[in-house]
Chains A and B, each alone.
Chain A
Amino acid sequence: MSPSTPASHSEGTAGGSTGRRRRRGPRTWLAALPLLVFTGLCFGVPLGAIAFGAVTRTDPSSGATRLTGEHLARSLQGPYLGSLIGSVQLSALTALIGGVLGVLIAQAVVTSRSQALRSAALTASGVLANFGGVPLAFAFIATVGISGVVTQLADLTSLGWSLYSFTGLAVVYLYFLIPLMVLVIAPALDGLRPQWREAAQNNGATGRQFWRHVGLPVLAPSLLGGFVLLFGTAFAAHATAAALVGGSVPLVTLKIADALSGNVLTGQENVALALGLDMILIAGLVMAVYLPLQRRSARWLR
């Protein structure tokens, strides 16, 4: 999902690619067989299992399986629907904020011309973007939880701060989403040629005009790609939220965990699968918006 890097495309000319196409034998697709088998097994089989479980019910005593729409219907009602909406809201908000801040930081790093700052920022981003789960939750609890160090020192509670809320969770998510955006957008910002800027300036364009008419349109697919990646990451996050807010911020991943592996609710496994299918559909919808746009303007970054 990372944006195409300029280097990988710069060498292929039109003539070269047609030359390769002509050499292609009729059965070279066989070489891709391992990949196809891998994809089929690791994505196709689980997807099939989810879809099958979401639309069937197995009678526990007789073992007979029949088709039913009740799980999907339940997954779109009451608290389950609430959790889907909650997840989409949280993911969209954090992806938007994380995307904007990530781009600003990446742009500052890329234009600074300090190689040391650049490698330090990118390395740190690589580490932080992968810091998640319960350790992250506990780090936040110890720092800005109710009896956290910073909360006590700065008296955050009197300012209305609460880690265990929608806002608190959004802040925690931004902790790993912003570095992720920096990582994925930095190569695209590198791809903005200085010559374009110089050309714009020679023609009397202001900095604002350059961004409005050249910079942003060229970056748009990468920005959108970054947003989609951030949305997906936030949408699928589970452990951090589970440790921080339990059931008080409705999230679909928490609902799936409750239904699938809990000590309280029995016989909810199929509803969990239906919720999983809903998640896949939502992710698919987001991708469907991104892909055509990406194809349309990716050519500028070659």
Chain B
Amino acid sequence: MLSSSARRGAAVLLSAAVLTTLSACGAAPDQAAGAADGKSKVQPGAAASLTDLGGMDALVAAAQKEGQLNVIALPPDWANYGEIIKAFEAKYKIKVNSENPDASSSDEIAAVKSRKGQKRAPDVMDLGIAFARSGAGENLFAPYKVTAWDKIPAGQKDADGRWYNDYGGYISIGCDAAKIPNCPTTFADLLKPEYKGKVALNGNPTKSGSAFGGVYAAALANKGSFADIQPGIDFFGQLRKSGNFIPVESTPATVEKGETPISIDWDYLNAGYAEQFKGKGVDWKVAVPADGVYAQYYSQAINKEAPNPAAARLWMEFLYSAEGQNLWLKGHARPVLLPVMTQDGTVDKDAAAKLPQIQGTPAFPASAELDKAKATLAEKWDKALS
């Protein structure tokens, strides 16, 4: 039996241990603000362009001094990010710390906010367009204009350089030709009775960007517009009533298993499945529906308080170089500089030839239209589907 004072001592010790452990998790490390060599005019964290940094060599030197880059939410099997990270590490001898590859855009923003001033805060972000806009509004991003800045179409970048689109794709209909005799190629096709219990989305459109794109595309196919997503919601309601729609989230696993034989998803993901499951009894065909053409791009941004500001800027320069853009293209995604690169001949022609064919140029909803569509969807989706 312990004496009462010994017991009290043990209690105090224990609670002190708990407190120390907890506070240690939140300790803020020293700032890794690496001053570049003499040529650079400003600190990397304040540089808004390559000229500010004193040219590419100075940037590489500063980034190598930092030696690492924190990235978040970059799945290796998504738009070829696995190879992009490896290529960057090999080329510049900088270690990439890839955190939580399956995180969402709001997880990225939350990580930036909650780890302000910490060494493990993410340096760069790959965001859905709505989060790029709201993050810029909250003043979370550092303005930086990459060398290729002028070549990015005006509609696909923030005027101040806080975010700019990187890669994207079109909503497409993937279909297992080994199981489905006639693959659907338009949204109108999907309503046919022969596709009963076969049509899936990549997730819940109030959460998943690609599923949201699917509903938007369906709206365009059914006399809707960027300002009016309701026809798309009605379309899926109709699909659900006819029994064609299955609410299971399509993933590589459900595609391989044959549970989601028709899946509405980004064309780069669907094209990736086609390659992945070749020879496994799945003959995955990809079609961009002619009646509902909807493209969406993701955006890149630099954390305003990036712990490795030079490496972050070097990462951006790499992504928007011909090499980085072609690596996305290799992952079946359409890099934002694709039109320019097709003109000047720096594009990887083999990879470009593998993309599903598209007529015309993509249009994008305005910020207000996007917000309205989301509000409508959040309000009406449940009711239409249940």
Q: Can you name 16 A-B pairs with beta carbons within 8 Å?
A: A27-B8, A31-B11, A33-B14, A146-B246, A164-B247, A242-B204, A243-B249, A246-B204, A246-B249, A258-B207, A260-B106, A263-B208, A264-B208, A265-B378, A266-B106, A266-B134
Determine if A261 and B106 form an interchain contact, defined as CB atoms under 8 angstroms apart.
yes
B244-255: contact bitstring with A at CB < 8 Å (1 yes, 0 no)? 001111000110
B18 contacts partner chain A, Cβ-Cβ < 8 Å? yes
Q: Which residue of B lies closest to A58 (CB)?
A: B138
> Contacts of B130 on A, CB cut-off 8 Å?
264, 266
> Contacts of A242 on B, CB cut-off 8 Å?
204, 249
Contact of B128 among A41, A78, A249, A263 (CB under 8 A): A263
CA A37 – CA B385 in complex, angstroms?
46
Most buried by A among B106, B201, B246: B106
A34-B11, A268-B378 known; 15 new pairs, CB 8 Å cut-off, are: A30-B12, A60-B138, A61-B138, A78-B379, A79-B378, A79-B381, A79-B382, A164-B247, A242-B249, A243-B248, A244-B248, A247-B204, A261-B207, A262-B106, A263-B105
B22 contacts partner chain A, Cβ-Cβ < 8 Å? yes
A237 contacts partner chain B, Cβ-Cβ < 8 Å? no
Determine if B207 and A263 form an interchain contact, defined as CB atoms under 8 angstroms apart.
yes
> Contacts of A82 on B, CB cut-off 8 Å?
382-383
What is the minimal beta-carbon distance from A195 to any residue of chain B, in angstroms? 38
Given contacts A25-B4, A141-B257, contact A79 B134 (CB under 8 A): no
Determine if B8 and A263 form an interchain contact, defined as CB atoms under 8 angstroms apart.
no
Determine if B206 and A258 form an interchain contact, defined as CB atoms under 8 angstroms apart.
yes
A3 contacts partner chain B, Cβ-Cβ < 8 Å? no
CA A262 – CA B358 in complex, angstroms?
29
Instruction: Enumerate B106-152 residues with CB–CB distance to A below 8 Å.
Output: 106-107, 110, 128, 130-131, 134, 137-139
A interface residues, how many (CB within 8 angstroms): 49
Question: How many B residues touch the partner, as a band?
Answer: 35 or more
What is the minimal beta-carbon distance from A240 to any residue of chain B, in angstroms? 12
A145 contacts partner chain B, Cβ-Cβ < 8 Å? yes
Q: Which residue of A lies closest to B257 (CB)?
A: A142
B15 contacts partner chain A, Cβ-Cβ < 8 Å? yes
> Contacts of A83 on B, CB cut-off 8 Å?
382
Instruction: Enumerate B2-36 residues with CB–CB distance to A below 8 Å.
Output: 4, 7-8, 10-12, 14-15, 18-19, 22
Instruction: Enumerate B219-254 residues with CB–CB distance to A below 8 Å.
Output: 240, 246-249, 253-254
B197 contacts partner chain A, Cβ-Cβ < 8 Å? yes
Determine if A261 and B107 form an interchain contact, defined as CB atoms under 8 angstroms apart.
yes
Instruction: Enumerate A172-211 residues with CB–CB distance to B below 8 Å.
Output: none
Determine if A38 and B106 form an interchain contact, defined as CB atoms under 8 angstroms apart.
no
> Contacts of B107 on A, CB cut-off 8 Å?
261
Contact of A246 among B212, B247, B253 (CB under 8 A): B247
Determine if A263 and B205 form an interchain contact, defined as CB atoms under 8 angstroms apart.
no
Contact of A247 among B128, B131, B247 (CB under 8 A): B247
CA A264 – CA B229 in complex, angstroms?
14
> Contacts of B106 on A, CB cut-off 8 Å?
260-263, 266, 269
B386 contacts partner chain A, Cβ-Cβ < 8 Å? yes
B43 contacts partner chain A, Cβ-Cβ < 8 Å? no
